[in-house]
Amino acid sequence: MSDPSNEPYDPREALGLERAQLPRHIAVIMDGNGRWARQRNLPRIRGHERGVQAVRTITTACARLRLEALTLYSFSAENWKRPKEEVDFLMQMCRQYLIAERDEIMENNIRLIHVGRRDGLPESVLTELDATVALSRENRGLKVGLALNYGSRCELVDAVRRIVRSVQAGELGEDDISEQTVSQSLYTAELPDPDLLIRTASEYRISNFLLWQISYAELYVTDVLWPDFDTHALFAAIRAFARRERRFGGLGE
C-alpha cells in the first residue's frame, strides 16, 4: 500500500492554482539559521541542524507538486571564511545528509545534481556526494540542484575556461559562441533557468547566486527564517509567483 504522505499534490486543491501557473524551477537562498538559533539562545549549529529539516520538507513538497527543479544554496564559495569549527560541522552535516536522505530521494524519484566546484570539498563529502548522485541518476522526478561550494562568479570563470578550451581544440568556432553555449557550460547545464528565486530571513541580496540563470526570475523575499520555512511558506511564495505578470521584456496585455 502506498504511503498517502508521498502521494502527489493536486495544485488546484493544495494551492488553488492550475499546473501551468506553477514555476518549473524554484531556487532558494536559505538564510537565517544562525538568527534562528540566536533567538533561542542556542549554538549556531543547532540552527543548521533545524535547517536540514526544512530542506527535507521543502524538497518533498516540490517533488509532490511535480515541479521540474529545485536548487538549494547550501554552502557558498565565500562560506569557507567562517570559523573552522562551523565549517567542519557543516561539512560533516552535509555528509550525513547525503547518506541519510538516499531512501527519501529514491522513494520520491528525485535526481540529485551537484552545482558547484569540487575542488576544496573534503574527500569524505565528495565520496557520499558522488554516491548519491550516481544512485539517483536515472530518476525522472524532481531535479534537486545542491549548490555546494558554489559561487556564481566562479561558475562563470569556469564556464569561460571550458569554452576557451573547446575553441582551442577546434570543437567550437568563436562566432559560434552564443548564450546557449554559455548556459550549457555552467554547473546548471542540466537544469532550466529558475522561474522563482526565494530568499528567507528578509535579506535583499542575491549573494553571488545564479547570476546568469536568474535574469528573468521572479524574486520573493520573506521574513521567515529558513528553519521555520515550511510547506505553508512555500505555498505562499508560489501563490505570489502566480500573481506576477511575466513579460520577459515585452509589453503586457
**What pLDDT is recorded for position 245?**
83
Record the cell numbers describing residue 93, joined without a space: 552535516
Half-sphere exposure of 182 (CA within 13 A, CB side): 12
Q: Please tell me the number of Cα atoms within 13 Å of 201 on its side-chain side.
A: 19
12 assigned to some structural domain: no
Structural domain tally of the chain?
A: 1
Residue 251 domain-assigned (yes or no) = no
DSSP 240-253: HHHHS---TTS---
Cα 105–Cα 108–Cα 113 angle in degrees, nearest 5: 45
Sign of CA dihedral 50, 51, 54, 55: negative
Alpha-carbon distance of 156 to 116, in angstroms, equals 11
The answer to the question of residue 102 being in a domain is yes
- pLDDT at position 1, please? 27
Residue 94 lies in a domain: yes
**How many beta carbons lie within 10 A of that of residue 14, not counting itself?**
15
Assigned domain for 161 exists = no
Residue 15 is classified by DSSP as T
Is 109 within a domain? yes
- Torsion angle defined by CA atoms of residues 245, 246, 250 and 253, in that order, rounded to the nearest 10 degrees: -30
What is the rounded CA–CA span in Å between residue 35 and residue 42?
A: 10
- The dihedrals phi and psi of 212, each to the nearest 5 degrees, come to -75, -45
Q: Which of 31, 33, 108, 149 is catalytic?
A: 31
| DSSP H or E run through 27 | strand 25-29
Domain assignment present for residue 179? The answer is no
Is residue 172 domain-resident? no
**Residue 252: what pLDDT?**
56
Helix (H) or strand (E) holding 231: helix 231-243
The residue among 191, 178, 192, 225 whose CA lies nearest residue 33 is 225
Residue 85 is part of which domain span? Answer: 21-151+192-197
Cα–Cα dist 9/250, whole Å: 33
Q: What is the pTM of this model?
A: 0.93
Among the listed residues 10, 79, 108, 109, the single catalytic one is: 79
Cell of 33: 539559521
79 is catalytic: yes
Asked about 6 being catalytic, the answer comes back as no
Q: What are 78-82's contacts with CB under 8 Å, separation 24+?
A: 78/151, 78/208, 80/120
Each residue's pLDDT tens digit in the chain (253 positions)? 234 457 899 999 999 999 999 999 999 999 999 999 999 999 999 999 999 999 999 999 999 999 999 999 999 999 999 999 999 999 999 999 999 999 999 999 999 999 999 999 999 999 999 999 999 999 999 999 999 999 999 999 999 999 999 999 999 999 999 999 999 999 999 999 999 999 999 999 999 999 999 999 999 999 999 999 999 999 999 999 999 987 666 555 5
Closest residue by Cα to residue 187 from 217, 212, 216:
212
CATH of the domain at 67: 3.40.1180.10
